[in-house]
Amino acid sequence: MEIYFLGTNAGVPTLQRNVTSVALRLLEERRTFWMFDCGEGTQHQVLRSPLRLGKLEKLFITHLHGDHLFGLPGLISSRGYQGGTSPLTVYGPPGLKAYLDISLSVSQSRIPYKLEIVEHSGGLIFEDETFKVEAGLLEHRIDSYGYRVTEKDSPGNLNTELLKSYGLKPGPLYGRLKKGEDITTDEGVLIRAAEVIHAPKRGRIVVILGDTRPCAGSLPLAQDADLIIHEATFAHELAEMAHQYHHSTARQAAELARDAGGAELLLTHFSSRYTSQEELAPLLKEAQEIFPNTLLAEEFCTFPVYRRTPGNDPGE
Protein backbone atom coordinates (compact mmCIF):
# COMPACT_ATOMS: atom_id res chain seq x y z
CA MET A 1 0.00 0.00 0.00
CA GLU A 2 1.54 3.27 -1.15
CA ILE A 3 0.58 6.90 -1.75
CA TYR A 4 1.62 8.52 -5.01
CA PHE A 5 0.98 12.23 -5.62
CA LEU A 6 -0.06 13.45 -9.07
CA GLY A 7 -0.90 17.03 -8.08
CA THR A 8 -0.24 19.06 -4.92
CA ASN A 9 -1.20 22.63 -5.80
CA ALA A 10 -4.25 24.57 -4.66
CA GLY A 11 -6.57 26.47 -6.97
CA VAL A 12 -4.62 26.63 -10.22
CA PRO A 13 -1.66 24.74 -11.69
CA THR A 14 1.79 26.30 -11.80
CA LEU A 15 4.95 25.43 -13.70
CA GLN A 16 6.13 23.60 -10.60
CA ARG A 17 3.00 21.74 -9.47
CA ASN A 18 -0.30 20.53 -10.88
CA VAL A 19 -3.68 20.76 -9.17
CA THR A 20 -4.93 18.13 -6.78
CA SER A 21 -4.85 14.39 -7.35
CA VAL A 22 -3.45 11.54 -5.28
CA ALA A 23 -3.29 7.81 -5.96
CA LEU A 24 -3.53 5.03 -3.40
CA ARG A 25 -1.60 2.13 -4.90
CA LEU A 26 -2.99 -1.25 -3.85
CA LEU A 27 -0.97 -3.43 -6.17
CA GLU A 28 -0.20 -6.14 -3.60
CA GLU A 29 -3.63 -5.95 -1.98
CA ARG A 30 -5.91 -5.72 -5.07
CA ARG A 31 -3.64 -5.35 -8.13
CA THR A 32 -5.28 -1.98 -8.70
CA PHE A 33 -5.02 1.61 -7.59
CA TRP A 34 -7.57 4.13 -6.37
CA MET A 35 -7.51 7.85 -7.09
CA PHE A 36 -8.67 10.75 -4.95
CA ASP A 37 -9.59 13.92 -6.85
CA CYS A 38 -8.78 14.60 -10.47
CA GLY A 39 -7.82 18.18 -11.21
CA GLU A 40 -7.28 19.43 -14.75
CA GLY A 41 -4.26 17.78 -16.38
CA THR A 42 -4.29 14.69 -14.18
CA GLN A 43 -4.23 12.33 -17.16
CA HIS A 44 -1.02 14.05 -18.32
CA GLN A 45 0.47 13.47 -14.87
CA VAL A 46 -0.48 9.80 -15.09
CA LEU A 47 1.45 9.52 -18.37
CA ARG A 48 4.58 10.70 -16.53
CA SER A 49 4.05 8.20 -13.72
CA PRO A 50 4.29 4.42 -13.28
CA LEU A 51 0.49 4.28 -12.98
CA ARG A 52 -1.65 2.75 -15.72
CA LEU A 53 -5.26 3.84 -16.11
CA GLY A 54 -6.28 0.29 -16.94
CA LYS A 55 -5.51 -0.55 -13.29
CA LEU A 56 -7.68 2.27 -11.92
CA GLU A 57 -10.53 0.67 -9.97
CA LYS A 58 -12.13 3.48 -7.95
CA LEU A 59 -12.03 7.27 -8.05
CA PHE A 60 -13.20 9.44 -5.16
CA ILE A 61 -14.00 13.15 -5.52
CA THR A 62 -13.84 15.19 -2.32
CA HIS A 63 -15.83 18.18 -3.65
CA LEU A 64 -16.94 19.79 -6.87
CA HIS A 65 -14.48 22.67 -7.18
CA GLY A 66 -12.68 22.69 -10.52
CA ASP A 67 -9.16 22.15 -9.20
CA HIS A 68 -10.36 18.78 -7.88
CA LEU A 69 -12.71 17.85 -10.73
CA PHE A 70 -11.97 19.33 -14.14
CA GLY A 71 -9.65 16.50 -15.20
CA LEU A 72 -12.27 13.83 -14.64
CA PRO A 73 -14.14 13.72 -18.00
CA GLY A 74 -10.90 13.57 -19.97
CA LEU A 75 -9.42 10.86 -17.79
CA ILE A 76 -12.57 8.74 -17.96
CA SER A 77 -12.62 9.06 -21.74
CA SER A 78 -8.90 8.33 -22.18
CA ARG A 79 -8.97 5.30 -19.89
CA GLY A 80 -10.59 3.20 -22.60
CA TYR A 81 -7.85 4.12 -25.08
CA GLN A 82 -5.18 3.07 -22.57
CA GLY A 83 -6.32 -0.50 -22.05
CA GLY A 84 -9.02 0.16 -19.49
CA THR A 85 -11.72 -2.46 -19.89
CA SER A 86 -12.51 -3.32 -16.26
CA PRO A 87 -15.32 -1.49 -14.41
CA LEU A 88 -14.64 1.91 -12.86
CA THR A 89 -16.64 3.39 -9.99
CA VAL A 90 -16.57 7.12 -9.30
CA TYR A 91 -17.76 8.41 -5.91
CA GLY A 92 -18.55 11.99 -4.97
CA PRO A 93 -21.06 14.52 -3.66
CA PRO A 94 -24.48 15.17 -5.23
CA GLY A 95 -24.06 16.96 -8.55
CA LEU A 96 -21.23 14.72 -9.72
CA LYS A 97 -23.48 12.57 -11.91
CA ALA A 98 -25.04 15.57 -13.65
CA TYR A 99 -21.58 17.02 -14.32
CA LEU A 100 -20.28 13.79 -15.85
CA ASP A 101 -23.47 12.97 -17.75
CA ILE A 102 -23.42 16.36 -19.47
CA SER A 103 -19.65 16.38 -20.11
CA LEU A 104 -19.55 12.88 -21.57
CA SER A 105 -22.79 13.11 -23.55
CA VAL A 106 -22.17 16.51 -25.13
CA SER A 107 -18.65 15.46 -26.14
CA GLN A 108 -20.05 12.12 -27.40
CA SER A 109 -17.35 10.32 -25.45
CA ARG A 110 -17.27 6.57 -25.96
CA ILE A 111 -16.77 4.65 -22.72
CA PRO A 112 -15.92 1.00 -23.55
CA TYR A 113 -16.22 -0.24 -19.98
CA LYS A 114 -18.78 -0.22 -17.19
CA LEU A 115 -18.81 3.21 -15.50
CA GLU A 116 -20.73 3.57 -12.25
CA ILE A 117 -21.25 6.94 -10.58
CA VAL A 118 -22.12 6.85 -6.89
CA GLU A 119 -23.27 10.07 -5.25
CA HIS A 120 -23.16 10.15 -1.47
CA SER A 121 -23.74 12.41 1.52
CA GLY A 122 -21.27 10.71 3.84
CA GLY A 123 -21.27 7.49 5.82
CA LEU A 124 -20.16 4.05 4.67
CA ILE A 125 -19.89 4.21 0.88
CA PHE A 126 -18.01 1.01 0.06
CA GLU A 127 -17.17 -2.29 1.74
CA ASP A 128 -15.97 -5.70 0.67
CA GLU A 129 -14.01 -8.50 2.34
CA THR A 130 -10.73 -6.55 2.40
CA PHE A 131 -11.53 -2.81 2.57
CA LYS A 132 -14.15 -0.33 3.62
CA VAL A 133 -14.41 3.38 2.81
CA GLU A 134 -16.26 5.93 4.92
CA ALA A 135 -16.88 9.59 4.06
CA GLY A 136 -17.46 12.51 6.37
CA LEU A 137 -18.49 16.11 5.77
CA LEU A 138 -15.87 18.80 6.36
CA GLU A 139 -16.17 22.61 6.36
CA HIS A 140 -15.55 24.39 3.07
CA ARG A 141 -17.35 26.88 0.78
CA ILE A 142 -19.27 23.97 -0.72
CA ASP A 143 -19.82 20.47 0.60
CA SER A 144 -16.40 18.84 0.89
CA TYR A 145 -15.74 15.34 2.17
CA GLY A 146 -12.90 13.43 3.70
CA TYR A 147 -12.42 9.71 3.06
CA ARG A 148 -11.29 7.11 5.59
CA VAL A 149 -9.97 3.96 3.92
CA THR A 150 -9.72 1.00 6.29
CA GLU A 151 -7.89 -2.17 5.35
CA LYS A 152 -9.46 -5.04 7.24
CA ASP A 153 -7.32 -7.20 9.51
CA SER A 154 -5.83 -10.23 7.78
CA PRO A 155 -5.26 -13.67 9.36
CA GLY A 156 -1.95 -14.22 11.06
CA ASN A 157 0.71 -16.48 9.55
CA LEU A 158 1.36 -19.99 10.76
CA ASN A 159 4.14 -20.43 13.29
CA THR A 160 6.18 -22.72 11.05
CA GLU A 161 9.00 -23.14 13.55
CA LEU A 162 6.57 -24.48 16.14
CA LEU A 163 4.98 -26.78 13.59
CA LYS A 164 8.39 -28.16 12.67
CA SER A 165 8.92 -29.03 16.32
CA TYR A 166 5.84 -31.25 16.01
CA GLY A 167 7.43 -32.90 13.00
CA LEU A 168 4.79 -31.43 10.71
CA LYS A 169 5.82 -30.52 7.17
CA PRO A 170 4.07 -28.13 4.75
CA GLY A 171 1.06 -29.73 3.15
CA PRO A 172 -2.72 -30.11 3.43
CA LEU A 173 -2.61 -30.04 7.24
CA TYR A 174 -1.06 -26.56 7.08
CA GLY A 175 -4.04 -25.45 5.04
CA ARG A 176 -6.52 -26.82 7.57
CA LEU A 177 -4.72 -25.07 10.43
CA LYS A 178 -4.69 -21.83 8.44
CA LYS A 179 -8.48 -22.13 8.16
CA GLY A 180 -8.69 -22.40 11.95
CA GLU A 181 -9.23 -26.16 12.16
CA ASP A 182 -7.60 -28.21 14.92
CA ILE A 183 -5.80 -31.30 13.63
CA THR A 184 -4.39 -34.57 14.93
CA THR A 185 -1.08 -35.82 13.56
CA ASP A 186 -0.39 -39.42 12.55
CA GLU A 187 1.31 -39.81 15.92
CA GLY A 188 -1.92 -38.82 17.68
CA VAL A 189 -0.77 -35.33 18.72
CA LEU A 190 -3.55 -32.75 18.86
CA ILE A 191 -2.51 -29.38 17.44
CA ARG A 192 -4.86 -26.51 18.11
CA ALA A 193 -4.97 -23.90 15.36
CA ALA A 194 -5.20 -21.04 17.84
CA GLU A 195 -1.86 -22.06 19.34
CA VAL A 196 0.12 -22.16 16.08
CA ILE A 197 -1.23 -19.06 14.30
CA HIS A 198 0.28 -15.67 14.94
CA ALA A 199 -1.96 -12.75 15.86
CA PRO A 200 -3.89 -11.22 12.94
CA LYS A 201 -2.16 -8.48 10.97
CA ARG A 202 -3.72 -5.15 11.81
CA GLY A 203 -5.19 -3.44 8.77
CA ARG A 204 -3.91 0.00 7.87
CA ILE A 205 -6.01 3.17 7.87
CA VAL A 206 -5.45 5.96 5.35
CA VAL A 207 -7.36 9.24 5.65
CA ILE A 208 -7.54 11.69 2.74
CA LEU A 209 -9.25 14.95 3.63
CA GLY A 210 -10.68 17.38 1.10
CA ASP A 211 -10.45 21.15 1.36
CA THR A 212 -11.49 22.27 4.83
CA ARG A 213 -11.16 24.66 7.68
CA PRO A 214 -10.41 23.06 11.05
CA CYS A 215 -13.72 21.44 11.97
CA ALA A 216 -15.31 18.82 14.17
CA GLY A 217 -15.84 16.46 11.24
CA SER A 218 -12.12 15.91 10.69
CA LEU A 219 -11.39 14.27 14.02
CA PRO A 220 -13.53 11.10 13.79
CA LEU A 221 -12.34 10.51 10.23
CA ALA A 222 -8.68 10.79 11.21
CA GLN A 223 -8.86 8.92 14.53
CA ASP A 224 -5.90 6.51 14.97
CA ALA A 225 -5.05 6.61 11.27
CA ASP A 226 -1.73 5.25 10.07
CA LEU A 227 -1.52 8.05 7.50
CA ILE A 228 -3.39 11.35 7.26
CA ILE A 229 -3.28 13.47 4.11
CA HIS A 230 -4.37 17.02 4.90
CA GLU A 231 -4.41 20.27 3.01
CA ALA A 232 -1.95 22.96 4.11
CA THR A 233 -2.83 25.81 1.80
CA PHE A 234 -1.08 28.47 3.91
CA ALA A 235 1.52 28.96 6.59
CA HIS A 236 0.01 29.82 9.97
CA GLU A 237 1.00 33.49 9.68
CA LEU A 238 -1.86 33.60 7.15
CA ALA A 239 -4.36 31.84 9.42
CA GLU A 240 -6.92 34.64 9.02
CA MET A 241 -6.75 34.36 5.23
CA ALA A 242 -7.00 30.58 5.48
CA HIS A 243 -10.16 30.91 7.54
CA GLN A 244 -11.62 33.46 5.14
CA TYR A 245 -11.08 31.13 2.18
CA HIS A 246 -12.22 28.02 4.07
CA HIS A 247 -8.78 26.40 4.14
CA SER A 248 -6.26 25.24 6.73
CA THR A 249 -2.70 26.09 7.70
CA ALA A 250 0.10 23.59 8.13
CA ARG A 251 -0.03 24.03 11.89
CA GLN A 252 -3.77 23.35 11.95
CA ALA A 253 -3.24 20.16 9.96
CA ALA A 254 -0.61 19.06 12.48
CA GLU A 255 -2.93 19.81 15.38
CA LEU A 256 -5.55 17.56 13.83
CA ALA A 257 -3.03 14.72 13.36
CA ARG A 258 -1.89 15.08 16.98
CA ASP A 259 -5.40 15.20 18.42
CA ALA A 260 -6.49 12.21 16.31
CA GLY A 261 -3.60 10.04 17.45
CA GLY A 262 -2.37 9.60 13.90
CA ALA A 263 0.94 7.95 13.06
CA GLU A 264 2.04 10.03 10.04
CA LEU A 265 0.95 13.24 8.32
CA LEU A 266 1.42 14.26 4.70
CA LEU A 267 0.78 17.90 3.81
CA THR A 268 -0.53 18.85 0.36
CA HIS A 269 -2.71 21.41 -1.52
CA PHE A 270 -0.21 24.27 -1.27
CA SER A 271 -0.97 27.82 -2.31
CA SER A 272 0.71 28.87 -5.56
CA ARG A 273 2.48 31.62 -3.59
CA TYR A 274 4.91 28.87 -2.53
CA THR A 275 6.79 28.06 -5.73
CA SER A 276 9.39 25.57 -4.47
CA GLN A 277 10.07 22.99 -1.79
CA GLU A 278 12.39 25.55 -0.19
CA GLU A 279 9.55 28.06 0.10
CA LEU A 280 7.42 25.32 1.65
CA ALA A 281 10.03 24.66 4.35
CA PRO A 282 8.40 27.02 6.89
CA LEU A 283 5.12 25.10 6.54
CA LEU A 284 6.93 21.86 7.26
CA LYS A 285 8.73 23.38 10.23
CA GLU A 286 5.58 24.75 11.87
CA ALA A 287 3.80 21.43 11.40
CA GLN A 288 6.69 19.37 12.78
CA GLU A 289 6.77 21.52 15.90
CA ILE A 290 3.28 20.18 16.64
CA PHE A 291 3.47 16.75 15.02
CA PRO A 292 7.05 15.62 14.32
CA ASN A 293 6.20 12.80 11.90
CA THR A 294 5.12 15.18 9.13
CA LEU A 295 6.28 15.26 5.52
CA LEU A 296 5.54 17.47 2.53
CA ALA A 297 3.88 15.83 -0.45
CA GLU A 298 5.91 15.85 -3.66
CA GLU A 299 4.59 15.05 -7.09
CA PHE A 300 5.79 11.81 -8.69
CA CYS A 301 7.01 10.59 -5.31
CA THR A 302 5.94 7.42 -3.52
CA PHE A 303 5.16 7.34 0.20
CA PRO A 304 4.73 3.87 1.76
CA VAL A 305 1.86 3.36 4.21
CA TYR A 306 3.50 1.69 7.18
CA ARG A 307 1.64 -0.85 9.27
CA ARG A 308 1.45 0.39 12.84
CA THR A 309 2.42 -2.33 15.32
CA PRO A 310 3.18 -2.18 19.06
CA GLY A 311 6.72 -0.94 19.62
CA ASN A 312 7.25 0.67 16.21
CA ASP A 313 4.50 3.27 16.13
CA PRO A 314 5.95 6.20 14.13
CA GLY A 315 3.82 8.54 16.20
CA GLU A 316 5.45 7.52 19.49
Binding site for Zn(2+), by residue number, is 63, 65, 67-68, 140, 211, 269
Distance between CA atoms of 98 and 240, rounded to whole angstroms? Answer: 35
Q: In what order do the strands lie in the sheet with 131-137?
A: 123-127, 131-137, 145-151, 205-209, 227-231, 265-268, 294-296
* Cβ atoms of residues 297 and 4 within 8 Å: no
With 0-12 CB in 10 A as exposed, 13-18 as middle and 19+ as buried, what is 279?
Answer: middle
**Active-site choice (37, 67, 143, 226):** 67
Query: DSSP letters of 102-161?
Result: HHHHHTT----S-EEEEE-SSEEEEE-SSEEEEEEE--SSS--EEEEEEEPPBPPPB-HH
Distance between CA atoms of 127 and 257, rounded to whole angstroms? Answer: 25
Nearest alpha carbon to residue 72 among 3, 20, 132:
20
DSSP state of 238: G
Binding site, annotated residues: 63, 65, 67-68, 140, 211, 269
Beta bridge partners of 56: 33
67 included as an active-site residue: yes
- CA-CA-CA-CA dihedral for 210, 248, 251, 223, to nearest 10: -40
Beta bridge partners of 266: 229, 295
Cα 272 to the center of its chain, rounded Å: 24
Residues recognised as catalytic: 67
